[in-house]
Amino acid sequence: MPTITQNLPDTFSIEAYQKTFALRPVKYPDDMPLLYKWMHAEHVVDQWQLHLPMPQLKTHFEKMLADDHQRLYLILCDDKPIGYTEIYETARDRLSQYYKAKETDMGWHILLGDPAVVGKGYLKPTGMMISKFIFEHTEAKKIVVEPDSKVEVYQWIADSFAYRVQRLIEMPEKTASLYFCNRDEFLESRGYLNFYGATA
């Protein structure tokens, strides 16, 4: 039987900031040169720690793509790749070691790889798009994320989309802020209504 993430659509898009933001599956090995470039970008290295030689990076992504508890997507803006996201089932992920996960809970990681979009306000529409995608195409009542607590930009974005910080958790590679986002609160949040609900 297909898993929750295997049942996710291959593509999704929204309109925000007079731009089209979209998701498409990672294509292996075609996307590897781009992912290699992003993983070695100065603003990415410390957070992702995947600045590996190409053979090792390929092995990493081969394992990731074979793991049926997650789907890997590129994030596009007006058809140009700007980032990467992993959407996963938290009950089958290591995150379930840090809170009591339900079978339908979902999570995501995001990387804005293109240096040209970093610090330019792209995290809000991409984070909203991923959240909407999950709630629209799964039975999840809750999304759980665990960004590095040192990345302050998440703190001021999270509240507008009803991502509520729960506590700090100690993970092997970072001290993370554990956030919960409930479906109903997200759909009523000012961020959702501003970016999508008002024009739906």
Residues 65 and 27 sit within 8 Å (Cβ to Cβ)? no
pTM above 0.75, yes or no: yes
In a domain, 17, yes or no: yes
In a domain, 74, yes or no: yes
Could you list the residue range(s) of the whole structural domain that residue 20 is in? 5-140
Tokens of 71: 């789907």
How many domains does the chain fold into?
Answer: 1
Residues 126 and 156 sit within 8 Å (Cβ to Cβ)? no
In a domain, 177, yes or no: no
Q: Tens place of pLDDT for every residue, the chain, 200 residues?
A: 789 999 999 999 999 889 999 999 999 999 999 999 999 999 999 889 999 999 999 999 999 999 999 999 999 999 999 999 999 999 999 999 999 999 999 999 999 999 999 989 899 999 999 999 999 999 999 999 999 998 877 877 788 899 999 999 999 989 999 999 999 999 999 888 887 654 43
* Integer Cα distance of 96 and 43 in angstroms: 28
Residue 78 — left, alpha, or beta (φ > 0 → left; ψ -120 to 50 → alpha)? left
In a domain, 178, yes or no: no
Residues 6+ apart with CB under 8 A from 122: 77, 82, 83, 112
Residues 6+ apart with CB under 8 A from 188: 162
In a domain, 196, yes or no: no
In a domain, 116, yes or no: yes
pLDDT for residue 198: 46
| Nearest one of 108, 90, 109 to 99, comparing CA atoms | 90
pLDDT for residue 196: 64
In a domain, 16, yes or no: yes
pLDDT for residue 51: 97
pLDDT for residue 84: 98
In a domain, 200, yes or no: no
pLDDT for residue 190: 85
CATH of residue 90: 3.40.630.30
* Integer Cα distance of 123 and 174 in angstroms: 21
pLDDT for residue 199: 43
Secondary structure element (H or E) that encloses residue 192, with its range: helix 190-195
